Amino acid sequence: MRGMLVKDKGEEGIVLTPDGAFVQGKVEEAASLGDEVEVEPPLSRRSFWWLAAAAVAVVCLGLALYRLAVPAPWAYVAVDTVPSVGLALDSRLVVTRQEALNVCGEELLAGEKLAGKTFANALSFLLVRLRAEGYLQEAAGDLVLVTVASRKEDERLAAERVARLVAASLPAGRGTAVVVARVDLATQRQAAKAGLSPGRYLLQQELQQSGVKLQGRKVGEMPLRALEEAYGVRVAALMAGKAAVVVLGGDRNGKKPGGELPGLLAAPVPPAKAE
């Protein structure tokens, strides 16, 4: 709204509009009496703040509706071999989201949709794909590391039960080591910030405490067996210091030079029997 400035009150003034109305509002500080100026009535400023407040309210409402429509995952399971893959699960243990956690994981999941599958079916699918793509080889002493985090203790995701699910999708008697570790949600969130699976994140933390400076990108991409050989460690032993661990098969992870791993086999699982 424009008009002639007839009274200067600092940041505000009184303006005579062409239709003969006097309007008080914010005007340019450099304006002089008699100048034609733009005036911003107080009502317009109040309207602006009301609109801003309304916009904030709409955003907050939208976030609330989004959280209702897309609730936080009940559980998060990560599978590491060479690829690293994460699965978010709802309270029915149905996959709601999949994510690749390294380059090989992206290749493994390319074109695949696991959302809507049960956890058991999705896990079986991943292990079959790992075998088909050559990441798990028939003659090799492979290592599968699985980490499980859930909002509450869930027997369906107990380490022993998950280890058996993994074993059911692997050929019997091949010497594959299956390491299943339960971690807390805080660890899962820290791993996500670091761009790693919880398992690889814990391995990085343990190695750093031992004086090994290992960048997140390197620990995120290295095959687990290559990591063991390069740094003279056992993945299961490192994980035992940070989480509840179950080890299935794979004598390489069952012992270290000098004796048994103390407290490692808190819930040992026998090798899966052939059908």
Task: Write the DSSP assignment of 119-143 as a string of letters.
Answer: HHHHHHHHHHHHHHTTSS-TTS--E
Hey, what amino acid is at 97? R
Contact criterion met (CB below 8 Å) for 13 and 7: yes
Does this model's pTM top 0.95? My answer is no
Q: What is the pLDDT of residues 138-194, one digit of tens each?
A: 656 788 999 999 999 899 998 888 888 888 887 765 567 888 888 998 999 999 999
Placement of tokens 């690749």 in the chain:
100
Class of domain 2-69: mainly beta
Q: Which residues contact 54 (CB under 8 A, 6 or more apart)?
A: none
pLDDT value at residue 159? 85
Between residues 182 and 239, which one has the greater pLDDT?
182
Is pLDDT at 109 greater than 90 in this prediction? Answer: yes
The domain ranges of the chain are 2-69, 75-260
Q: How far apart are CA 180 and CA 98, in angstroms?
A: 19
Contact criterion met (CB below 8 Å) for 81 and 169: no
Starting from the edge strand earliest in sequence, which strands make up the sheet with 143-150, in order?
95-100, 84-89, 75-80, 143-150, 177-182, 244-248
**Closest C-alpha to 135, from 170, 95, 111:** 170
* Angle 124-191-165 from CA coordinates, rounded to 5°: 20
Fill in the DSSP letter of residue 60. H
